[in-house]
């Protein structure tokens, strides 16, 4: 069972454009939602995250939106740059003292063309 669904699987945008990635989940206990960025040959690195008590979080050119009722979230990258070309993963977990068991989506491969 795929608990975290991510779309699209790949997309291409022009430099300066806006990249929009979407994610949905099923487990109602999930309340922490990070987005990770992964370049070829490297491990994923945290880009931005949001807790279920919020509906929006912004960090520079990156904004994540969260809709608890629909169990959906999205990542928007404005003024996309060629250096943003990477694979982006949404993830989810319940936050608890026992640990942070992240469940990852399949990823979206983003190519930003100059």
The residues near 84 (Cβ < 8 Å, ≥ 6 apart) are 19, 77, 110, 112
Q: Select the residue interacting with other proteins from 52, 105, 110, 112 (CB under 8 A).
A: 105
**C-alpha to C-alpha distance for 69 and 44, rounded to whole angstroms:** 28
Site string for other proteins, 46-85 (x = CB under 8 A): x--x------------------------------------
Looking at residues 3 to 22 of the shown chain, list those that interact with other proteins (rule: CB under 8 A).
Answer: 4, 6
Q: Of 12-20, 65-73, 75-83, 87-95, which segment contacts other proteins by CB under 8 A?
A: 87-95
**C-alpha to C-alpha distance for 68 and 86, rounded to whole angstroms:** 27
Q: Select the residue interacting with other proteins from 19, 21, 24, 34 (CB under 8 A).
A: 34
Q: Select the residue interacting with other proteins from 12, 15, 58, 101 (CB under 8 A).
A: 101
Strand pairing partners for 86? 110
Phi then psi for residue 84, to 5 deg, are: -85, -5
Q: From the CB of 71, what's the least distance to other proteins, in Å?
A: 18
The torsion angle over the Cα atoms of residues 86, 102, 20 and 74, rounded to 10 degrees, is -170
Q: Of 14-22, 55-63, 70-78, 95-103, which segment contacts other proteins by CB under 8 A?
A: 95-103
């Amino acid at each position: 069972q795929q608990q975290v669904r991510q779309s699209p699987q790949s997309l291409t945008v022009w430099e300066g454009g806006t990249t929009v990635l979407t994610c949905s989940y099923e487990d109602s206990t999930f309340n922490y939602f990070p987005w990770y960025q992964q370049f070829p040959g490297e491990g994923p690195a945290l880009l931005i995250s949001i807790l279920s008590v919020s509906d929006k979080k912004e960090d520079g050119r990156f904004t994540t939106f969260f809709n608890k009722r629909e169990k959906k979230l999205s990542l928007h990258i404005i003024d996309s740059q060629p250096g943003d070309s990477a694979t982006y993963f949404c993830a989810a977990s319940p936050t608890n003292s026992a640990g942070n068991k992240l469940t990852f989506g399949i990823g979206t491969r983003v190519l930003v063309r100059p």
